[in-house]
Amino acid sequence: MILEPEKFRSFELAGWQEIPAGYHDAFGPLTSQAIEPLLDAVRLKKGQSFLDIASGPGYVAAAAAKRGATVLGIDFSAAMVAHAQRLHPGVEFRDGDAEALPCGNGLFDAAVMNFGILHLGQPEKALLEAYRVLRTGGRFAFSVWAGPEETLGFGIVLHAVELHGEPRVELPEGPPFFRYSDADECKRGLLVAGFESPSVTKVAQTWRLPAGDGLFNAMKDSTVRTAGLLRAQKPTVLQKIRDELRASVEKYTKGDFVELPMPAWVASGQKT
């Protein structure tokens, strides 16, 4: 596998530019479940300076502002930044790359990245950048999905593609989607970047989607890499995958909604 960080970045950026509203509807209620564990992991207190990296629609930034922090949210998608600014007019958001943050050294008491690291071509650079912008004693935390055997939303889709489709489509090669879905890899990443006392905990999360095609639509219209995988399938194959998804979510359906387990890891460390 030859990684293509620049091509991968362009592919991700083009994808995120298209989907702020769809992401907000489909994923917002899910990724928001990691906010309090992240803010607790960095021990955020009133009056502290706080950076939300890959802030998307700005959920963590807004929650940190509610805790009384001085907050900046940074995302490389101008469309996401605009969406976040509309949702949270009292919080500051700015365009910027997680791998080259547009911030000086040692500025923040705390920083987090909620489900951002798995979208980066060079996540090691982003971990170094988070370290650089924190003051000594500052804390950093990130969240990632648990593996597909536990995050059923991903597991069901990947299984359906394995069964009916072509899992190795031509997309710009990025790091493995589930690379950090492993407590040891999270700790290793933090230690290599210079953080001390890394700690990793699992957070239970539930994804509530419309019954029937809710999962298929969310993955096809409101993601980047998984959407790329689905959209690259032939139409007849895509229909089979869709049918497979409808059948697979049935046992998780209650009335008009599907409820899927989507646990996350929350990893944190301190700059000492």
Ligand X SMILES: C[S@@+](CC[C@H](N)C(=O)[O-])C[C@H]1O[C@@H](n2cnc3c(N)ncnc32)[C@H](O)[C@@H]1O
Binding part of the chain for ligand X, among 92-100, 167-175, 196-204, 242-250 by CB under 6 A, reads 92-100
Contact by Cβ (8 Å): 211, 152: no
Give the single-character DSSP code of 46.
Answer: T
> Which is nearer to ligand X, 165 or 260 (by Cβ)?
260
Contact by Cβ (8 Å): 30, 207: yes
- Tracing tokens 């509309």 back to the chain, one arrives at 86
175 binds ligand X, rule: CB under 6 A: no
Kind of pairing between the strands at 92-95 and 70-75: parallel
Q: Report the C-alpha gap between 167 and 171 in whole angstroms.
A: 11
76 binds ligand X, rule: CB under 6 A: yes
In whole angstroms, what separates CA 143 from the centre of its chain? 7
> Which is nearer to ligand X, 116 or 214 (by Cβ)?
116
> Which is nearer to ligand X, 121 or 165 (by Cβ)?
121
55 binds ligand X, rule: CB under 6 A: yes
205 binds ligand X, rule: CB under 6 A: no
- The one among 59, 93, 154, 180 contacting ligand X by CB under 6 A: 59
Which tokens in the block code for residue 186? 């999270």
Binding mask 111-130 for ligand X (x = CB under 6 A): ---xxx--xx----------
31 binds ligand X, rule: CB under 6 A: yes
Please count the residues of this chain forming the interface with ligand X, following the rule CB under 6 A.
Answer: 20
Closest contact distance (angstroms) between CB of 61 and ligand X is: 9
For residue 60, with 0-12 CB atoms within 10 Å meaning exposed, 13-18 middle and 19 or more buried, which class applies?
buried
Contact by Cβ (8 Å): 55, 61: yes
Residues near ligand X, by CB under 6 A: 12, 16, 31, 54-56, 59-60, 75-77, 80, 97-99, 114-116, 119-120
